Structure 1
Amino acid sequence: MQNTSQKTKVLFIDRDGTLIIEPPVDFQVDSLEKLEFYPGVFQNLSKIASQLNFELVMVTNQDGLGTDSFPEADFWPAQNKMMQALENEGISFNDIIIDKTFPKDNAPTRKPGTALLEQYFSDEYDLENSFVIGDRWTDVELAKNLNSKAIFVDANDSTLNDDKELADRIALRTTSWADIYKFLRLSERTAVVERNTLETQIKVELDLDGTSQGKISTGLGFFDHMLEQILKHSGINLSVTTVGDLNVDEHHCIEDTGIALGEAFKIALGDKLGLERYGFCLPMDDCLAQVALDFGGRNELVWEADFKREMVGDMPTEMFSHFFKSFSNAALCNLNIKAEGSNEHHKIEGIFKAFARAIRMAIKRDVNNLQLPSTKGLL
């Protein structure tokens, strides 16, 4: 999986109908009297600008700007007033891109064309995790052409476009800048990790904000059963496909799956802002399983669980602690795991269930307190 953590994400923001109200008759903001800001734009865009790691780029089509029907002398007073008002609230744009052609010209510089945005097609920018915010289908088309996502400011309650691929580009459809801020603040926490070695081929797909959907296939029935406990009891979406050298033994499949799963959690947790961070103990018949977890950026495993059987199902009991150690190392988390009881199956299943519940607690976020859960200021 390509590491995009050091690349710059961009918000390509439309002007009329998104930042300011578009006049219903001539669609031109060509005087100060017509200048009216979209509700909530100051409060929420200023928070986006100050709290989130996006460059802000204004991209707007201004049909025939500079012609007799739309003199630049009419355009710039309102434009400059708008920009000054935004800057007064801490909202500064890295670039302002204005196309002056008419729709009939089909110019490559005009949205959804990208001729004026070529500088963003570089290794410096993470377009896949960038967004186009606008109120027209041309903005959604621009998102598609940039390989980005779209936030559709649907003030006119437009019907969905028949182009499914285009409609699928829409990550959020709203009329509220508060919704836009919340969505960007609580961005998707997903990861896809593929780990291929001479011993195993593994793919893990993870969505921390899922609904317990997914499929597990490792070639080891009991291991599948344990990973399904994570899927069911944590509330995440999780799919794991492992193909490995089971003709040798189970070691590589279990160890490498733990590594890949840990890497997926590390990626999906992102900046950890607002994270509960800590997570659980539960009884299972004769067994009491306790799992304390901390996604704090350091790896450590404390393991206090003894097994009298060599195997549970087709899984060696010596590999239970090894799986959690592999996960801890890759996810950079602390795990303190204890279990007591007389039934070996119950003990390990109790551990996996408690582990899942610990995850469920620790990955929760408080949208009203999006602070880093650490006095160090770094996790």
Structure 2
Amino acid sequence: MKRVLFIDRDGTIINEAPPTYQIDDFSKLEFYPYMFTYLTKIAAELDYELVMVSNQDGLGTDAFPESTFTPVHDFIMKALENEGIHFSAVHIDRSFPHEGLDTRKPSIGMLKDYLDKEKYDLENSYVIGDRITDVQLAKNLACKAIWLNNDPSLGGGEIADAVEALREVVAMETTEWKAIYEFLKQGLRVVEHERYTHETKISIKLNLDGTGKADIATGLGFFDHMLDQIARHGKLDMTVHAKGDLHIDEHHTIEDTGIALGEAFAKALADKRGMERYGFALPMDEAEAKVLVDFGGRNWLVWNAEFKREKIGEMPTEMFFHFFKSFSDAAKCNLNIECKGDNEHHKIEAIFKAFAKAIRMAVKRDPFSNHLPTTKGLL
């Protein structure tokens, strides 16, 4: 699924021109400071589809003829293209008056194609704009807003009380494109994810660039201990809260946690540029575990580990394979797991620790690299 940046034009890419705010003459054209520098980096380094969305009141009427708008707009688009900034689509609403119409921002009439959940990941997409209507558009699209609040009359740096309900939609508020770039570059790998079924309710918070903080509560003590190993040895900040039908057995809780955790990883690794992709490791006392991982976008599990005990703690040993299979399927990664040893506790703990170390190696990212670790051009 593609993530999208829905970008407003006036006040965001170019400065607006009061009192009419219509950029209908080259004398009014001024690009937003450092927009080219950082939007070029966003286009080159980050995996987003760029879509322009703009309201142009009465465009095509005598008051705002096409002949004054088009030359300036075409110049803007060509200037962007010359810097490697390519918009896949430009959506312009020209209605005026506009009461009752669903094409004008913040309505989403122009953007219905992007509601296809099979093609677009709106949950991890953003609207970048300078007005409250852009924040409202983000809410209507069920994505987040980056508010480039450069006009004190729009709220003085804070969302007005009348629209305080929109506060949760705003992922960041700034006046600089540099801050937008840094946020998008560094903020991709922190996610919150929920998976609710009739059998389980699972909430996950995941920071791939954390320090090893863990808050685990699944109702299964040994399983909690193993998930804690992933966080601490993988240096991930990870919260996993699961409530499942343990009065039946452990199966659904363990399986669905594996699925939910894999889904969270898939979201956090939506942009794989600069990451290592592969990882492996680890011995523990007499036990030897090897875990190979490849976050290459395809799921596969090779499992070469046997356990002689039916349970370790209250966790059935048959569920170890099932957990990693669920994770592999949801995270779309290859896992090759092998272990040998005498102590069953040591064996499975070695596997989880090796899994954590493998993840740590694979998700490590070089902040100075824009390399996508594949010859295919897509992960």
CA distance in 2, matches of 1:156, 1:135: 8
Residue among 146, 149, 157 paired with 1:154: 149
Number of the residue aligned with 1:132: 127
Residue among 69, 79, 82 paired with 1:85: 79
CA distance in 1, matches of 2:276, 2:142: 33
CA distance in 2, matches of 1:289, 1:93: 47
**Which amino acid counterpart does residue 301 of structure 2 have in structure 1?**
E
> Is the 8 Å Cα contact of residues 275 and 373 (structure 1) preserved in structure 2?
yes
1:353 has 2:353 as partner: yes
**CA shift in 2, pair 1:116/1:241, >3 Å:** closer
Deviates more, 1:140-149 or 1:251-260: 251-260
CA distance in 1, matches of 2:187, 2:340: 36
**CA shift in 2, pair 1:266/1:257, >3 Å:** same
**TM-score, normalising length: structure 1:** 0.75
> Is the 8 Å Cα contact of residues 279 and 362 (structure 1) preserved in structure 2?
yes
Number of the residue aligned with 2:27: 33
Which secondary structure does the structure 2 equivalent of 1:168 belong to? Answer: helix
In the alignment, structure 1 segments of 5+ residues that lack a partner are: none
CA distance in 2, matches of 1:55, 1:33: 27
> Is the 8 Å Cα contact of residues 339 and 351 (structure 1) preserved in structure 2?
no
Which secondary structure does the structure 2 equivalent of 1:365 belong to? Answer: coil
Deviates more, 1:59-68 or 1:15-24: 59-68
Residue among 92, 97, 114 paired with 1:97: 92
**CA shift in 2, pair 1:141/1:288, >3 Å:** same
CA distance in 2, matches of 1:116, 1:251: 44
Identity value in percent: 45
**TM-score, normalising length: structure 2:** 0.75
**Which amino acid counterpart does residue 203 of structure 1 have in structure 2?**
I
Number of the residue aligned with 2:275: 275
> Is the 8 Å Cα contact of residues 60 and 97 (structure 1) preserved in structure 2?
yes
In the alignment, structure 2 segments of 5+ residues that lack a partner are: none
Number of the residue aligned with 2:11: 17
Equivalent positions of 1:297-308 (< 5 A) are 297-304=298-305
1:207 has 2:198 as partner: no
**CA shift in 2, pair 1:165/1:267, >3 Å:** same
Number of the residue aligned with 1:143: 138
1:239 has 2:240 as partner: yes
* Superposed CA offset, 1:284-341 (max 9, x none): 677665544332335233435x666554322244543453344345543223343657
**Which amino acid counterpart does residue 371 of structure 1 have in structure 2?**
H
**CA shift in 2, pair 1:243/1:60, >3 Å:** same
CA distance in 1, matches of 2:348, 2:214: 22
CA distance in 2, matches of 1:167, 1:34: 32
> Is the 8 Å Cα contact of residues 101 and 110 (structure 1) preserved in structure 2?
no
> Is the 8 Å Cα contact of residues 95 and 104 (structure 2) preserved in structure 1?
no
**Which amino acid counterpart does residue 133 of structure 2 have in structure 1?**
T
CA distance in 1, matches of 2:378, 2:111: 35
CA distance in 2, matches of 1:178, 1:223: 43
Deviates more, 1:173-182 or 1:281-290: 281-290
Equivalent positions of 1:214-229 (< 5 A) are 215-229=215-229
> Is the 8 Å Cα contact of residues 62 and 99 (structure 1) preserved in structure 2?
yes
Distance apart, 1:96 and its partner CA: 3.8
**CA shift in 2, pair 1:254/1:377, >3 Å:** same
**Which amino acid counterpart does residue 131 of structure 2 have in structure 1?**
R
CA distance in 1, matches of 2:57, 2:290: 62
Distance apart, 1:97 and its partner CA: 1.0
Distance apart, 1:152 and its partner CA: 1.4
Structure showing greater radius of gyration is: 1
Deviates more, 1:9-18 or 1:19-28: 19-28
CA distance in 2, matches of 1:75, 1:154: 25
Distance apart, 1:159 and its partner CA: 1.8
Number of the residue aligned with 2:258: 258
> Is the 8 Å Cα contact of residues 61 and 110 (structure 1) preserved in structure 2?
no
CA distance in 2, matches of 1:377, 1:131: 24
**CA shift in 2, pair 1:220/1:111, >3 Å:** same
* Superposed CA offset, 1:329-368 (max 9, x none): 55432233436575x5444334323322322232233343
> Is the 8 Å Cα contact of residues 288 and 341 (structure 1) preserved in structure 2?
no
